[in-house]
Amino acid sequence: MFDAHSENGPLRRLLGRPSRELRSAADRTHRGRLVACALSTVVAVLCAIAIGAAVWHTETHAAHTEALHRHRVSATTLGEAHRTLPVRFDSTKTATARAAWAYPATQVHTATLLVPAGTPVGGKVLVWVDDAGREAPAPRSQGDIASGAVATGTAALGVLILSAAGVIRLRLRRVEARRLAEWEREWQLVEPGWSGRLRRRRGADDD
């Protein structure tokens, strides 16, 4: 059992009898939780890096496969560009215009495309299409893939750290509750002699 009068008791340390090492079970558990917190952070970082790397490799392969089915073709505008859109991040003004292109060579397709503002009728613009000649999104760049991998890894890191912190905090609260109960038991044993109440009672009995 825990001895309140031993030199390793919390009250003894408080009253000037420091211990060379933490012998209390609550102290050891508390220290273990702090170590677990540090290790959990390291593990979370490693897991987030692994997740981000996995996303990078998967998306890079998918983007490469997708790029094999994307084709850049020239389209001819059928009407004037209008409805100028807000300036893009590269300071280029854009508008919309009806345009036509042929892909494969025997199939003609038409669609409303984004074109540079001021493009005249009959102007040439480039458009990405799929194997059937339909307008399609441009292949993803390495920058887009990297941004997605970083975002996924960061989100995973946040979830892992918050989960670990929640578990460790719950365990620490339980340890702290046991520590306070331990101090209370020790105080009940030490307080009569430390405050002099025990000596006064003995003096009263002697009378």
Mean pLDDT by 10 residues, the chain (207 residues): 46 45 56 76 90 94 92 92 62 83 91 88 93 91 91 91 81 74 75 61 52
* Cα distance from N-terminal residue to C-terminal residue, the chain: 37
pLDDT at residue 26, rounded to an integer = 55
pLDDT at 7: 46
Q: Where are the alpha helices (DSSP H) in 18-141?
A: 25-67
In this prediction, residue 166 carries a pLDDT of 81
Instruction: Compute the distance between CA of residue 143 and CA of residue 136 in angstroms, rounded to an integer.
Output: 19
Say if CB 115 and CB 123 are below 8 A apart: yes
- The conformation of residue 20, written as its DSSP 8-state character, comes to S
Report pTM: 0.58
pLDDT attached to residue 18: 43
Instruction: Report the distance separating Cα 123 and Cα 84, nearest Å.
Output: 16
Query: What would the two tokens of residue 132 be?
Result: 């059937």
- The alpha carbon of residue 46 and the mean position of all alpha carbons in its chain are separated, in whole angstroms, by 12
Comparing C-alpha atoms, which of 33, 68, 50, 46 is closest to residue 165?
33
User: 85 CB contacts (<8 Å, ≥6 apart)?
Assistant: 93, 94, 95, 96, 114
Give me the residue spans of the domains in the chain: 10-64+144-206, 71-138
